[in-house]
Amino acid sequence: MFANSFKRTQRFNELILKSHMDAQMRAASLGREKVIDGTVGSLTMGGELVTFPSVDRLIPALDVKKISAYTPIQGSGPFLDAMETLCFETCKPSRKIGRVAVAGANSGIHHTICNYTEPGDIVLTSDWFWSSYEPIVREHGRRLGLFTFFQERRFSLESFQESVNSVAQLQENIAVILNTPGHNPTGYSISEDEWGRIVRYLNSLKRRIILVIDAAYIDYAPPEYKHMFSKLNRLNDNTLVIVAYSISKSLAKYGLRTAALFALHRKQEIIDEFERVLSITNQATYGCPPSLGQYLTAALVANGRALADYYQAKRAVIEMLAQRAAVLAEAVDDYLLTPYRHGFFVSVRTDRGELLVEKLRREDIFLVPVHGGVRIAICSLEREQILKLGRAIMQHI
Ligand code: PLP
């Protein structure tokens, strides 16, 4: 074995894409209509990936020389301006904003963890979480700490406070990742009222907090959910907010690996430090982030007509997702489902998720087990498939 002593013992455990491949292989042998694939977090209709024509049409017009060239390590200015516009819309924070382009929100979270926590630190998130957080924190010798996400189907401020308080006894910086709105894998969106209470609590602490908002699905919640940024304006200087915002889901350009990280704080020196340390990590990993996604995003925001068409198409997708979630709620008892509000996923609560997934596979239904249950990617399922899958869940759970 040649890998270093830490890596030698690690297993590559990427269940989502692997289960998706299994489903595709099954569909190739049985016929697509016989297989239900609720594994992967990409929007599909009739088995085809959904993209936005208003965005796609801009690609052939991009300057080939520009999209082939390197961009600055921190990202191009027009791209970062465009990402600010798309992410915050009318709710631009009234504080200083640091900006760095990254190759996907995935690396944005990775870069944040490696710059703002120490080896051995605990990084907090909810007990339902996107499975990649685990390898991301482990890669740099950090650990994931979990607080209970829900109390009676609402955000459990109590558990959040308890976990933050206990981590505060152990380490200098307290890093917390909150994935909202449209949380993966539950579909929960933290409400404005809940944000108000989170902010009041964080302001009461005399500790440095790194509040990472993983906003990967923010554009699949109604625009008023962006009011959370106004609540965050009330945070005192002990908290640095870092927002991860990506074109993967927002523009349905998953493979272009393009995202931005925003740092929100009142002090310029904190913003300067953020841009400096994040640029170093870009330089030390992939160099500059991919060019194509940066030019495409800037072109979209510069084109008023295309932008309006995109917003209109996205409103229809939000409506479609709400309908799919409602169909699932018809088929599966309410108490078994996580409290869905928006986004691509809902989960079934069970402590025997792997067993349920196994039983469903025998009926050619492919889902992914997660901590706490089984994730259903409603983003990739049609009404009839959701009904069939719901009935199968009720039979096997
Ligand atoms: N955050 C969450 C919660 C996700 O579900 C995903 C992708 O599935 C990401 C971040 C990663 O997004 P990106 O494609 O921008 O790396």
Domain boundaries, the chain: 5-52+306-396, 70-302
The CA distance from 213 to 243, in Å, is: 5
Mutation pick for ligand 1 pocket among 15, 43, 131, 132 (CB with most ligand atoms within 8 Å): 132
The CA distance from 292 to 383, in Å, is: 35
DSSP-assigned letters across all residues of 59-127: STTS-HHHHHS---TT--HHHHHHHHHHHHTT---SSEEEEEEESSHHHHHHHHHHHHS-TT-EEEEES
Report the topology of domain 5-52+306-396: Aspartate Aminotransferase, domain 1 (3.90.1150)
Distance 106 CA to ligand 1 centre (A): 6
State the pLDDT at residue 11.
Answer: 87
- Band of residue 120 on the pLDDT scale cut at 50, 70, 90: very high
Of 62, 300, 287, 109, the residue nearest 211 (C-alpha): 109
How deeply is 317 buried, as exposed, middle or buried, from its count of CB atoms within 10 A (0-12, 13-18, 19+)?
A: middle
> Residue for token digits 């917003």?
311
State the pLDDT at residue 280.
Answer: 98
- Band of residue 380 on the pLDDT scale cut at 50, 70, 90: very high
Q: What is the CA radius of gyration of the chain?
A: 21
**Is the full-model pTM beyond 0.85?**
yes
Once rounded to an integer, what is the mean pLDDT over residues 207-224? 97
3-state helix, strand, coil in the chain (%, to 5): 50, 20, 35
State the pLDDT at residue 228.
Answer: 96
- Band of residue 382 on the pLDDT scale cut at 50, 70, 90: very high
In percent, the amount of the chain with pLDDT more than 70 equals 100
State the DSSP code for 181: S
Protein residues with CB under 6 Å of any ligand 1 atom: 41, 104-106, 130, 179, 184, 214, 216, 246, 248, 254, 259
Distance 210 CA to ligand 1 centre (A): 19
195 vs 149, 200, 235, 347, CA distance in Å? 14, 9, 11, 23
Of 70, 66, 82, the residue nearest 300 (C-alpha): 82
Q: Which residues contact 46 (CB under 8 A, 6 or more apart)?
A: 382
- Band of residue 359 on the pLDDT scale cut at 50, 70, 90: very high
The CA distance from 214 to 130, in Å, is: 10
Distance 168 CA to ligand 1 centre (A): 28
State the pLDDT at residue 47.
Answer: 82
Of 243, 304, 208, 196, the residue nearest 93 (C-alpha): 243
Distance 395 CA to ligand 1 centre (A): 32
Quick check: 32 pLDDT over 90? no
Once rounded to an integer, what is the mean pLDDT over residues 341-363? 97
Written as six digits, the tokens of 310 are 């995109």
**Please, what is the average pLDDT of the chain?**
96
Once rounded to an integer, what is the mean pLDDT over residues 146-171? 97
Mutation pick for ligand 1 pocket among 184, 189, 218, 294 (CB with most ligand atoms within 8 Å): 184
Burial 273-308 (b: 16+ CB within 10 A, else e): bbbeebbebbeeeeebbbbbbbbbbbbbbebeebbe
Once rounded to an integer, what is the mean pLDDT over residues 350-367? 97
Once rounded to an integer, what is the mean pLDDT over residues 108-126? 97
Task: Report the Cα–Cα distance between both ends of the chain, in Å, rounded.
Answer: 42
Digit-coded pLDDT (tens) for 76-105: 999 999 999 999 999 999 999 999 999 999
Higher-scoring residue by pLDDT: 127, 47: 127
Mutation pick for ligand 1 pocket among 128, 137, 214, 344 (CB with most ligand atoms within 8 Å): 214
Distance 217 CA to ligand 1 centre (A): 8
Report the half-sphere exposure of 345 (CA within 13 A, side-chain side): 34
State the pLDDT at residue 15.
Answer: 87
Once rounded to an integer, what is the mean pLDDT over residues 357-376? 97
Once rounded to an integer, what is the mean pLDDT over residues 199-210? 96
Quick check: 58 pLDDT over 90? yes
State the pLDDT at residue 14.
Answer: 84
- Band of residue 46 on the pLDDT scale cut at 50, 70, 90: confident
Distance 105 CA to ligand 1 centre (A): 6
The two beta strands, 373-377 and 368-370, are antiparallel
Mutation pick for ligand 1 pocket among 246, 258, 294, 375 (CB with most ligand atoms within 8 Å): 246
> Residue for token digits 């690996």?
257
| CATH number 3.40.640.10 given to 70-302 | yes
Once rounded to an integer, what is the mean pLDDT over residues 263-280? 98
The CA distance from 272 to 256, in Å, is: 27
